[in-house]
Chains A and B, each alone.
Chain A
Amino acid sequence: MKQLFALIASVGILIGALGISTTVVAQDKAATPAATAPATATPAPAPAATPPAAAPAADAKAEPPKADAPAAAPAAPTAPVLVGADKINSGDTAWMLSSVALVLLMTIPGLALFYGGMVRKKNVLATLMQSFAITCLITILWVIAGYSLAFMPGGSFIGSLDRLFLNGMLFQKDAAKLTVSHLGVTIPESVYVMFQATFAIITPALIAGAFAERMKFSAMLWFIGLWSILVYSPIAHMMWEPTGYFAAMGVLDFAGGTVVHINAGIAGLVCALVLGKRIGYGKESMMPHNLTLTLIGASLLWVGWFGFNAGSAVAADGRAGMAMLVTQLATAVAAMSWMFAEWMVKGKPSVLGIASGAVAGLVAITPASGFVGVTGAFVIGIAAGVICFWAATSLKRMMGYDDSLDAFGVHCIGGITGAILTGVFNVKEISGADASVMTQVYAVLATLVYSGGVSFILLKVIDMVVGLRVSEEEEREGLDVSLHGERVE
């Protein structure tokens, strides 16, 4: 029932938001020839001819959105177009179909187990439930409006409603025609929608790490649903759709260091601050109840991340290969650097430590993965391990917030580390784009302010309407029994 309310409410709000955005579009429109360097007139089947997936294709401004633009447009498309089935590259498509499965695996069961093992036993089902329910909720919202708002050309800050309910996304068997996104011209649009859906799913699911063990399930659904529409879609649009604000500035974010990790991490910190600490925090032991689950979850995240980073090439090509290589390397380095840092400071290399270090490395290499070489991967790995270790232990203790499972300490801090170092270690030979540290920093700050601000408002409103926290009695009893009527023995 409440899901239904959430749906209705979010659609209402997004229509309001769109009213604002169209004014922005009007001011921002500058019709320039859209073709950017590597995209050829007819997208050849050779993977090398695909335009870079993410930000570097950036200085193109929007043409007025035309969902059903003619297939034989001479320039590279700036909106989804209907093409002949022969334009589809089967290698790219096969890899992207696989990537969808890999990235979905990151949330269910990867993140669910990673978080589920870290909570106390009385809250494990509630924590698994959050990841699973978020997967379902966001899938629905993504098809209804999220994809259209994020990945259709529109204004600087948000897309359009041209693909509401995926209206206009076509596959015609007899005519041998189908639509492709302008962000991945060699694969069917349906695959691109699904690929991006898995990103939209994991991002809000990451936030759950910050409010674990104390948030009402109903309030969680409201918050996540609204956040996805009001925060995730706009930030994804700004960064990845060529008409977007950050994309036009030349900000580099290959697979979502800013869009996914900083975005979710700062929202997590705001959740932790607004909800307050868990009862007994600072006095009672809040040790993970089952690090076996956590390590399995971290491993699934790692494997799934190949779909996340190498998949963000939107092609089965050399860039995907490089992205996979630096992802593996940076992750291993970060896991070791966290482990050694902890060993030196605390005296023992912990299981939670090495698992968290690996995730920190995955997070930090995410924005850089299609742009840096081996040197960059090494440095990003070392930095991520040490800095995130500091954030999840010393910084958290110093500031006194209860970021239950370190969504902020690992994802936001790791994401910032990666976003800035992407500007430092970008290799033009690999990325085909210039990078500027200052531009990177600007996008980071803008995301922190926007995501943090909107999250704060959403939480305050939801607190007034349905209440954010469970009662003290329910929290003491554990969310498994008090919210879901079930328990693990």
Chain B
Amino acid sequence: MANPGSLLLPNDREILDHLSMESNTRRRGEEMLFRSYTYFIREGIKKFRLSEEEAFDAYSETILSAISIITDGSFQGNSSLKTFLFRIFQNKCVDLLRKKTTKRQSIHRTVSIAELSQQFSDAAKSIIQRMVDNTDLHLLRQRMDELGGKCRQLLMLSAEGYSDKAITQELEYKTADVVKTSRLRCLERLRQLYKQ
């Protein structure tokens, strides 16, 4: 069996290096990853008989899932990026075909409540799960849009796992403390808007 990482190609390593960083470098890595295998879309059209839009969706979802797996450190490098991505892509295409028949939307869930509350005990988890289920996510989404660009960006980067220090550079704040204060103010404002 090959050593972890030995099957990676030089281009794979470059992409992984970029994705391990924060801020603009990570974004560049995301774009490099996307650009590297766009021909999968043609495969999706040919092999799975998807429309171009559907194949694009499946490929985008593949890249988003791969980014999550890579950035949280779960990708061990036991295969090349191409093999790793193609496996996800095939599953996404199959999921899409299944969901097309049941008319369900969106095949990508960026984060589950279970992931965020995985460190909770079962008792705490079930309380939180029930309360999140009762949250009006559609309204929350609307209220988040009302917050304005800067607040939205702050919350999105923070949710994606960017540290306050990295956000300082990304959004040109003076210090990480200012980022944290602004972020919490945005959360508070969102809370008030949601409660209205």
* Chains A and B belong together in one complex: no
